Amino acid sequence: MKTYMELAPSAALTEEPPAAPPSRGYWGVVWQQLRRDPMAIAAGSVLLLIVIAAVFAPLLAPADPYKTSMIKRLLPVGSEGFLLGTDELGRDMISRLMYGGRISLLMGVVPVFAAFGIGTFIGILAGYVGGKVNMVIMRVLDVFYAFPSVLLAVAISGALGPGLSNSLLALTLVFVPQVVRVAESVTTQVRQLDYIEAARMSGASAFSIIRVHVLGNVLGPVFVYATGLLSVSMILASGLSFLGLGVKPPEPEWGLMLNTLRSAIYMNPWVAALPGVLIFLTSIAFNLLADSVRSAMDIRR
């Protein structure tokens, strides 16, 4: 008499094994984590709207941001034809804010990415070579740490003079020492690992070791740190323009608009506060998005 197993083979013997889930890789996991983070979605959506409004300002702006009208000065929010009112010279605030976003975002993002590239290179050089090279580089950069970032940016901008290019250079010089310190610290830790020593003993050149083994381990932590500087860069850039050390009038820039509208704060406070609100929203969105990226890239979590 045949047994049940002989009459009805097991499902485990007849069914095909389940397919293995596809490997998404490290960045795939990071992206998946960001998609599930409501804070990252909210901050990214706000930044996306601001970037779209700034990039497509020539198409979306309802009026010429430079056109003045003395009879339409300081119109309140909700005025006919001027949804967000007008500034002290009768210029449309919506158009000014859209065009101002282009300069403000430029001044906030470019110095951070420039400092990221320059600082990572110097930090890896100092951390990998070590010895006197490390000591000279780090002691020179320690001079910059004797001053707060705000005072250092104001001092450099004051020495170079007002202007967009000078402001970008000043902010880049402020952030480079901070990036160098992080890159040097991570490189020093990576240099002591066993596989780096094995690559060195196998005859690999220093350039090959840095390119293959060191760079991949350093870029992640430095990039996460650099994203946290975006909100600081936005505030510093607006502060320089507010003090007259950044963009020159009549260019629309949020910090400069705050400076020119401060005399109207008692007559039309809502219009005067609009550039400050955008600076606040953009810096907070950058900060929250940086925190989400830092959390998603922490693979030990």
Write out pLDDT tens, residues 175-201.
999 999 999 999 998 888 888 888 888
Question: Average pLDDT of 134-142?
Answer: 90
- The label of the residue with tokens 């158009």 reads 95
Question: Average pLDDT of 262-289?
Answer: 90
- Report the alpha-carbon distance of residue 77 to residue 84 in Å, rounded: 4
Question: Average pLDDT of 132-137?
Answer: 90
Q: Look at residue 88 and give its three-state secondary structure.
A: coil
- Report the alpha-carbon distance of residue 113 to residue 208 in Å, rounded: 24
Does 41 have pLDDT greater than 60? Answer: yes
What's CA 154's distance to the chain center, in Å? 21
- Identify the band that residue 121 occupies on the pLDDT scale cut at 50, 70 and 90: very high
- Report the alpha-carbon distance of residue 111 to residue 152 in Å, rounded: 14
The predicted structure's pLDDT at residue 13: 43
- Identify the band that residue 299 occupies on the pLDDT scale cut at 50, 70 and 90: low
Does 4 have pLDDT greater than 60? Answer: no
Question: Of 20-24, 105-109, 277-281, which gets the smallest average pLDDT?
Answer: 20-24
- Report the alpha-carbon distance of residue 137 to residue 181 in Å, rounded: 10
The predicted structure's pLDDT at residue 93: 93
Does 43 have pLDDT greater than 50? Answer: yes
- Report the alpha-carbon distance of residue 44 to residue 146 in Å, rounded: 35
* Residue 172 neighbours by CB distance under 10 Å: 21
The predicted structure's pLDDT at residue 267: 85
DSSP state of 214: I
Which of 31-40, 89-98, 198-207 is predicted most confidently? 89-98
Q: Are 178 and 122 in contact (CB under 8 A)?
A: no
- Report the alpha-carbon distance of residue 153 to residue 149 in Å, rounded: 6
* Residue 264 neighbours by CB distance under 10 Å: 15
Percent of the chain exceeding pLDDT 90 equals: 43
**Rounded (10°) CA dihedral 78, 84, 86, 91:** -130
The predicted structure's pLDDT at residue 24: 63
The predicted structure's pLDDT at residue 215: 84
Does 296 have pLDDT greater than 90? Answer: no
Q: Are 119 and 187 in contact (CB under 8 A)?
A: no
The residue ranking higher by pLDDT, 102 or 202, is 102
CATH class label, 33-59+88-296: mainly alpha
**pLDDT tens, position by position, 52-111:** 999 999 999 999 999 988 898 888 888 888 889 899 889 999 999 999 999 999 999 999
**Rounded (10°) CA dihedral 46, 49, 55, 61:** -130
The predicted structure's pLDDT at residue 57: 93
**Rounded (10°) CA dihedral 174, 179, 180, 184:** 160
Question: Of 25-29, 94-98, 157-161, 190-194, which gets the smallest average pLDDT?
Answer: 25-29
pTM: 0.84
- Report the alpha-carbon distance of residue 295 to residue 278 in Å, rounded: 26
* Average pLDDT over all residues of the chain: 85
The predicted structure's pLDDT at residue 282: 94
- Report the alpha-carbon distance of residue 199 to residue 126 in Å, rounded: 19
Nearest CA to 225 among 134, 137, 298?
A: 298
Question: Average pLDDT of 161-182?
Answer: 92
Q: Look at residue 92 and give its three-state secondary structure.
A: strand
- Report the alpha-carbon distance of residue 176 to residue 118 in Å, rounded: 7
The predicted structure's pLDDT at residue 11: 42
Does 14 have pLDDT greater than 50? Answer: no
Nearest CA to 134 among 147, 120, 117, 122?
A: 122
Does 123 have pLDDT greater than 90? Answer: yes
- Report the alpha-carbon distance of residue 282 to residue 284 in Å, rounded: 6
The predicted structure's pLDDT at residue 204: 79
The predicted structure's pLDDT at residue 264: 85
Instruction: Return the amino acid letter for 191.
Output: R
